[in-house]
């Protein structure tokens, strides 16, 4: 049985510590040359290229260009395939996700009188067209479909589509189709990876050109978003899964071990650490994790053991809470779970994390599916500056201003001073004597 790596921060050099902060997609450059012909082919050939890449990359042997879009019959078949319990679980999760995101919805417009006769405000509206991506390579993710489509529907995006890779049978995963329908979108297309981004950026015979794409995926997807950022808003960086479980001396080591495995089973490109200040918790968790692996499928055990016995995973032993906080804030994890009798006390010291789950009874798996907050989160330390996917990712605002004559008369002379200082003649003239003459002529 594989071992779990132990990283002792007190014994590591700065360069060794820095290596622990690296993610699988930190260097996308090697992929750029590989995805260029994929993007070019989709731009030139459209659906024919999507079908060919579906056959080549997704092993969808019978996929043809006229079957890129999911049909009403596909949705009917998906509902028939799923059992009633799974459909009810999808509806339950969608309801929680919708409730959470409805609270995020800003008011359509607000205004204030900032000075007498000077009214300013902000107006919100949905983005005209958005593609959301639901990955499939190492499993199917109807949870991501719910988390992406629900806030877009709440935001009111008028032209919304779902892109997801086909399976070997050439079909969309049944639960993904049902999730999309429950969330409020029946426009689902079979396209994965870099070719999906290209399809959304350029449009094909079937897939409409979109203004933005959101959703997590592989480094191939991330590289395509970077390459096509001049054609389509690439949205939030959301790559391979990553997590930190922070456990102090009050934590149950068995629970710490169990929760550390959660994100590590996504794929061998995941990054997962159990950070603890307790040598006892560290050693007990390292011993327990292999026991849990024994009950996992070969595929998931393989992913988890690869991650947790590497420089992108394992147990990080910290000499103090301050050292642990510093490591977590530098890492800026996608998921952070705090196992402690005082999780709120620890959380107050965390500045950089996309999601913080508090206490012994809040495992990441429930957050990923059921609680309501979005599980599509910024990765690769983007939590230092980015927020989780939400309603505002599917909206944009514009500023609104209106002056009465009273407001103009107060602000114009001050504006003229400012414009003159910066050397902008037309700016100054627009609020000076020339405007006053024009106004007098029309009065």
What whole-number distance in Å separates Cα of residue 269 and Cα of residue 261?
Answer: 14
What whole-number distance in Å separates Cα of residue 267 and Cα of residue 326?
Answer: 27
- Residue whose C-alpha is closest to residue 152's, from 205, 78, 94, 109: 94
Contact 295, 344 (CB under 8 A): no
Tell me 106's DSSP state: P
- Residue whose C-alpha is closest to residue 60's, from 136, 9, 112, 134: 136
As to burial, measured by CB atoms within 10 angstroms (0-12 exposed, 13-18 middle, 19+ buried), residue 223 is: buried
What whole-number distance in Å separates Cα of residue 149 and Cα of residue 131?
Answer: 9
Go through 356-389 and write b for each residue having 16 or more CB atoms within 10 A of its CB, e for each that does not: bbbebebbbeebbbebbbbbbbbbbbbbeebebb
- Catalytic residue, chosen from 335, 346, 355, 360, is 335
* Phi, psi dihedral angles at 314 (to 5 degrees): 120, -160
Is residue 335 part of the annotated active site? The answer reads yes
C-alpha 19, offset from chain centre: 24
- Catalytic residue, chosen from 7, 334, 346, 355, is 334
What whole-number distance in Å separates Cα of residue 349 and Cα of residue 275?
Answer: 15
- Residue whose C-alpha is closest to residue 430's, from 410, 416, 409: 416
Tell me 69's DSSP state: B
Is residue 283 part of the annotated active site? The answer reads no
Tell me 391's DSSP state: G
What is the set of active-site residues? Answer: 334-335
């Amino acid at each position: 049985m594989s071992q779990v790596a132990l990283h002792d921060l007190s014994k590591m050099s700065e360069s060794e510590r820095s290596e622990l902060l690296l993610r699988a997609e930190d260097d996308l450059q090697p992929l750029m040359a590989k995805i260029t012909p994929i993007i070019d082919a989709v731009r030139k050939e459209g659906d024919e290229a999507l079908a060919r890449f579906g056959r080549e990359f997704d092993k969808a042997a019978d996929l043809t260009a006229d079957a890129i879009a999911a049909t009403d019959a596909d949705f009917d078949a998906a509902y028939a395939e799923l059992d009633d319990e799974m459909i009810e679980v999808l509806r339950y999760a969608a309801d929680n996700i919708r409730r959470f995101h409805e609270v995020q919805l800003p008011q359509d417009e607000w205004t204030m009188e900032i000075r007498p006769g000077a009214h300013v405000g902000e107006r919100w509206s949905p983005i005209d067209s958005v593609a959301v991506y639901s990955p499939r390579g190492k499993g199917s993710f109807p949870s991501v479909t719910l988390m992406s489509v629900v806030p877009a529907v709440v935001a009111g995006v008028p032209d919304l589509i779902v892109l997801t890779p086909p399976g070997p049978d050439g079909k969309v995963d049944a639960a993904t189709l049902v999730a999309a329908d429950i969330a409020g979108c029946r426009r689902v297309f079979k396209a994965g990876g870099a070719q999906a981004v290209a399809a959304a950026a350029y449009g094909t015979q079937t897939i409409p050109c979109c203004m933005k794409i959101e959703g997590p995926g592989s480094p191939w997807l991330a590289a395509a978003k970077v390459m096509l950022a001049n054609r389509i808003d690439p949205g939030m960086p959301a790559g391979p899964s990553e997590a930190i479980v922070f456990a102090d001396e009050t934590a149950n080591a068995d629970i710490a071990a169990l929760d550390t495995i959660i994100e590590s089973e996504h794929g061998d490109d995941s990054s997962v650490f159990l950070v603890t200040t307790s040598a006892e918790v560290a050693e007990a968790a390292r011993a327990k994790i292999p026991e849990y692996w024994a009950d996992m499928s070969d595929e998931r055990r393989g992913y988890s053991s690869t991650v947790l016995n590497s420089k992108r995973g394992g147990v990080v032993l910290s000499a103090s809470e301050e050292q642990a906080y510093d490591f977590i804030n530098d890492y800026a994890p996608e998921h952070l779970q705090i196992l402690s009798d005082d999780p709120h006390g620890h959380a107050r010291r965390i500045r950089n994390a996309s999601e913080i789950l508090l206490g012994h009874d809040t495992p990441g798996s429930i957050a990923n599916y059921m609680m309501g907050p979005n599980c599509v989160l910024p990765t690769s330390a983007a939590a230092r500056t980015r927020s989780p996917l939400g309603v505002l990712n599917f909206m944009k605002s514009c500023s609104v201003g209106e002056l009465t004559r009273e407001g103009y008369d107060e602000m114009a002379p001050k504006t003229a001073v400012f414009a003159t200082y910066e050397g902008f003649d037309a700016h100054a003239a627009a609020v000076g004597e020339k405007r006053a003459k024009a106004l007098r002529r029309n009065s």
